[in-house]
C-alpha cells in the first residue's frame, strides 16, 4: 500500500510539473487553424494552449456567458463582434502590443468597421463567402449550370431529402433574402415575407440544418448538395475529385471572422502574443494554405502562389464581391430573422 501511495504522489507531481507555465484558452471554429502553428507558439512561449471549438456563433456566445473557465481569445463573425462589444465582453485592444498589425489589408480593415467602428476590439482572421458544395456522382451538370440558389428548391430533389443548409439563421435567411433581391440585413416585412416564401419551397428538400457534418456527408453521398463556406468546400475538394462548389449568381453573404480578446481573460499578455504571432506574414500565409480561406493579411497574400491568388472560389473577383453583403449587427431586429429561421426548422 505504501508503494502504491508513493507511486500516486510521484504521478501527481509529474502531472503538475507538466502543466507549469501559463495556459492560453482559445475558443475557435473547428478545422480553422494549422495545428503545427499552435505547437510552435507553445514552444516559443513556454506555455500550453487549451484549444476548444464551436460550430456556430450562437453556441460560442452561450458558452462564454455560462462557462466557469474564461476563454482568452475567441473568433466571432462580424455581427457577433458587435454583440460582444455591446455586452461589455470584449477587451479594447492596445495596438502598441500588436507590432504586426501593419501587415493587415487596409481595405478589409475598412470593411471590418461595419461591425467594429474604429477597429478597436477585433483583428480580422479570415473572410469569405458562402455557396453550394455538391457531389458530381449525384448532381447532373445542367443543374449546377443554373449557378443559382434556386437549385435548392429544384423538383429533382423532391422526396430525396439530400440537401442541407448551415445551422445559421443569418446564412440561411440571408441566402433567401438575396435570392428575393434584398440585402441580408433587410428585416422589413416585405423582405422577410419574400424570404419566407422561398424558404418554404426550399424546406421541402432540406434534410437538416448543419454547420459541421455536411463536410463529410457530401463526400460520402449522404448529402448531395449543401450550403457551405468556401474554405470548407476547398478542403474537401482537395481530397475528393467528385466534389464541386459554386458561388450563386445572385450573390452571397460576405463574412469575416475575427480574433477578439475577452475582457475576462486571465492571461491577456499571452493573448496579445498569440494574436501578434498569427499576424506574422509567414505564419498567416501558412495558416491560409492550411484552411483554404482568404487571408486579410496583405503581406501574407503577396507570398501566396499564383494558383491560390487566381482561384475565384477563394478570392472572388470584384464584380462578384459587389453582389455580396456583409452580415451586420441588427440589434433587436435580428429576432425577426431568428424567428423566421426557427419557423423553417420546426416545419
pLDDT < 70 stretches in the chain: 1-20
Total structural domains in the chain? 2
Spell 69-83 as b/e; 16+ CB within 10 A means b: eebbbbbbbbbbbbb
C-alpha–C-alpha distance, residues 206 and 232, integer Å:
20
Domain co-membership, 122 together with 133: no
Compute CA distances 340 → 97, 199, 280, whole Å: 43, 9, 42
190-240 pLDDT per residue, tens: 999 999 999 999 999 999 999 888 989 999 999 999 999 999 999 999 999
pLDDT computed for residue 14 by the predictor: 45
Do residues 223 and 340 share a domain?
A: yes
Rounded to 10°, the helix 169-179/334-346 angle is: 90
Same domain, 118 and 133: no
Whether 201 and 162 share a structural domain:
yes
Residue 140 is part of which domain span? 128-254+323-346
151 and 236 co-located in one domain: yes
Count of alpha carbons within 13 angstroms of residue 212, beta-carbon side: 10
Shared domain check, 113 and 133:
no
pLDDT of residue 306: 93
Q: Are residues 238 and 119 in the same domain?
A: no
User: Does an H or E element contain 4, and which?
Assistant: helix 2-18
- What are the start-end ranges of the H helices in 19-74? 35-45, 57-66
Tell me the CATH number at 293: 3.40.190.10
DSSP code per residue over 262-284 = BTT-S-HHHHHHHHHHHTSHHHH
User: CB neighbours of 68 closer than 8 A, spacing ≥ 6?
Assistant: none
* Sign of the alpha-carbon dihedral angle for 60, 65, 68, 70: positive
Q: Beta strand pairing status for 206-209 and 163-165?
A: parallel
The angle at the Cα of 129, spanning 123 to 133, to the nearest 5 degrees, equals: 135
- What pLDDT does residue 69 have? 74
- What pLDDT, on the 0 to 100 scale, is given for residue 20? 66
Q: Are 77 and 255 in contact (CB under 8 A)?
A: yes
Looking from the CA of 203 toward its CB, the CA atoms found within 13 Å total: 17
Length of the chain: 347
Residues 330 and 233 grouped into a single domain: yes
Query: Which residue(s) pair with 209 in the sheet?
Result: 165
- The rounded Cα 47 to chain-centroid distance in angstroms is 26
Residue 4's pLDDT is what? Answer: 47
State whether 239 and 277 are in the same domain: no
Contacts from 275-281 at CB under 8 Å and sequence distance 24+? 275/73, 275/98, 275/123, 276/97, 276/98, 276/99, 276/100, 277/37, 277/41, 277/44, 278/37, 278/125, 279/98, 279/100, 279/101, 279/103, 279/104, 279/123, 280/100, 280/103, 281/100, 281/103
Cβ neighbours for 284, distance < 8 A, ≥ 6 positions apart: 103, 278, 295, 297, 299, 300
Beta strands in the chain (DSSP E): 23-29, 48-54, 73-74, 123-135, 163-165, 206-209, 225-229, 243-246, 253-261, 325-326
C-alpha span between 24 and 3 (Å, rounded): 36
Asked if residue 109 and residue 132 are part of one domain, the reply reads no
Q: How far apart are CA 327 and CA 329, in angstroms?
A: 7
Amino acid 17: pLDDT: 44
DSSP-assigned states of every residue in 49-62: EEEEEESSHHHHHH
Q: Are residues 327 and 307 in the same domain?
A: no
The H or E element containing residue 337 is helix 334-346
Helix (H) or strand (E) holding 334: helix 334-346
67 and 158 in a common domain:
no
Amino acid at each position: 500500500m505504501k508503494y502504491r501511495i508513493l507511486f500516486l504522489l510521484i504521478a501527481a507531481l509529474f502531472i503538475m510539473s507538466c502543466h507549469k507555465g501559463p495556459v492560453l484558452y482559445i475558443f475557435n471554429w473547428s478545422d480553422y487553424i494549422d495545428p503545427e502553428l499552435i505547437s510552435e507558439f507553445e514552444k516559443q512561449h513556454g506555455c500550453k494552449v487549451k484549444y476548444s471549438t464551436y460550430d456556430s456563433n450562437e453556441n460560442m456566445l452561450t458558452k462564454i456567458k455560462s462557462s466557469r473557465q474564461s476563454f482568452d481569445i475567441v473568433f466571432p463573425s462580424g455581427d457577433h463582434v458587435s454583440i460582444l462589444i455591446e455586452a461589455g465582453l470584449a477587451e479594447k485592444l492596445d495596438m502598441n502590443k500588436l507590432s504586426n498589425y501593419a501587415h493587415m489589408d487596409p481595405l478589409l480593415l475598412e470593411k471590418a468597421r461595419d461591425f467594429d467602428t474604429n477597429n478597436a476590439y477585433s483583428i480580422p482572421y479570415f473572410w469569405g463567402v458562402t455557396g453550394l458544395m455538391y457531389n458530381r456522382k449525384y448532381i447532373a451538370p445542367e443543374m449546377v449550370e443554373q449557378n443559382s440558389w434556386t437549385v435548392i428548391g429544384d423538383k429533382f430533389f423532391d422526396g430525396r431529402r439530400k440537401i442541407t443548409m448551415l445551422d445559421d439563421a443569418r446564412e440561411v435567411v440571408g441566402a433567401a433574402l438575396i435570392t428575393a433581391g434584398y440585402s441580408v440585413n433587410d428585416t422589413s416585412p416585405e423582405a422577410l415575407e419574400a424570404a419566407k416564401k422561398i424558404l418554404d419551397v426550399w424546406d421541402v428538400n432540406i434534410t437538416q440544418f448543419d454547420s459541421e457534418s455536411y463536410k463529410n456527408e457530401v463526400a460520402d453521398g449522404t448529402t448531395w448538395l449543401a450550403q457551405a463556406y468556401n474554405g470548407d468546400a476547398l478542403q474537401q475538394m482537395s481530397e475528393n475529385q467528385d466534389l464541386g462548389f459554386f458561388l450563386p449568381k445572385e450573390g452571397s453573404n460576405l463574412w469575416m471572422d475575427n480574433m477578439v480578446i475577452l475582457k475576462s481573460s486571465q492571461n491577456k499578455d499571452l493573448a496579445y502574443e498569440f494574436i501578434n504571432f498569427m499576424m506574422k506574414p509567414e505564419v498567416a500565409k501558412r495558416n491560409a494554405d492550411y484552411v483554404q480561406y482568404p487571408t486579410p493579411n496583405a503581406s501574407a497574400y503577396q507570398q501566396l502562389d499564383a494558383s491560390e491568388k487566381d482561384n475565384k472560389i477563394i478570392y472572388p473577383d470584384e464584380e462578384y464581391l459587389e453582389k455580396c453583403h456583409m452580415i451586420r449587427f441588427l440589434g433587436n431586429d435580428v429576432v425577426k430573422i431568428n424567428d423566421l429561421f426557427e419557423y423553417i426548422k420546426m416545419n
